[in-house]
Amino acid sequence: MDYQQQFRVAPGTHVKFKDLDPSSKGGNDDKAAAEEETARCQKRLLELQELLYAEHRHSLLICLQGMDTAGKDGTISHVLGAMNPQGCRVAAFREPSTEEQAHDFLWRAHRAAPAKGEVVIFNRSHYEDVLIARVHALVPKPVWSKRYDAINAFEQGLADNGTLILKFCLNISKDEQLKRFKDRLDDPSKQWKISEADYKERGFWDAYLEAYEEALSRCSTEHAPWYVIPAERKWFRNLAVARIVVEQLEALKMDYPKPAVDLAKIRAEYHAAKKDQA
């Protein structure tokens, strides 16, 4: 199955979550085979990351969004965690600091954006400023309504500088979220994640869906596409994200740069040193 085609928000189309199945397996019914393919993708991701770093012409920005418990941390751990941490980092977009609030809303995103050869994962992202800021009226509508165009311009600038931008919205249902909250309550290793705010935010579910629909519809572009990934089956979520990232990196047609030294001279020096050693 072509997951890029299946889950990509085509530019100019309008997203409606009621038409999307968060439990979809994308036509893949073999969980064991899917997990094997995910493992192969992880290995390939590491190879492609090395190429990205060596070639030093492109960078990769991955944005992860979704409701609480949608699996942003799990995706980072089980899919993107295969990358070499020397060339990959995660930027978490929490409540803006005093310093960040003193700048325009994209300042912190620009500071965290990847340099050439680098992979950066936004755990939540600059889209929070048209999601939570909209739902909770942190800024008035005349302010947040202008931000979609600013976001598109920001991402266009990154793309023009060689950044591959992939944005994944992890889609779960309200019922699945409640089930995952219950799992956290029952699992001592996950209880630290629980907060009262999680349950309060459920009261804004429909408002968040509306905000997500507009953000994805207005900000899925050719240079920075959105993908809505069914995330209720974690094994399929991992496969879909891994395959899309691999395919997009492969499409860059990267290659190792030519050596900057005279290899013949280096080989001669090596053989001379080896002979002297003998």
Total domains in the chain come to: 1
* Rounded Cα–Cα distance for residues 14 and 164 (Å): 23
The tens digit of pLDDT for each residue in 229-273 reads 999 999 999 999 999 999 999 999 999 998 888 788 888 887 887
- Beta carbons of 55 and 257 less than 8 angstroms apart: yes
For residue 135, the enclosing domain spans 3-277
User: How far apart (Å, rounded) are the C-alpha atoms in residues 278 and 146?
Assistant: 73
Q: For the segment 41-55, what is each residue's pLDDT rounded down to a tens digit?
A: 999 999 999 999 999
What pLDDT digit, counting tens, does each position of 181-217 carry? 999 888 888 888 878 777 889 999 999 999 999 999 9
- Alpha-carbon separation of residue 85 from 121, 130, 215 (angstroms): 12, 30, 30
- Residue 196: per-residue pLDDT: 78
Judged by average pLDDT, the poorest of 64-68, 79-83, 207-211, 257-261 is 257-261
Length of the chain: 278
pLDDT higher than 70, residue 278? no
Q: CA 9, 27, 240, 74: dihedral to nearest 10 degrees?
A: 110
In angstroms, the CA 126 to CA 136 distance is: 16
Q: Largest Cα–Cα distance of the chain, in whole Å? A: 78
Write the burial class of residue 64 (CB in 10 Å: 0-12 exposed, 13-18 middle, 19+ buried). Answer: buried
CATH of the domain at 137: 3.40.50.300
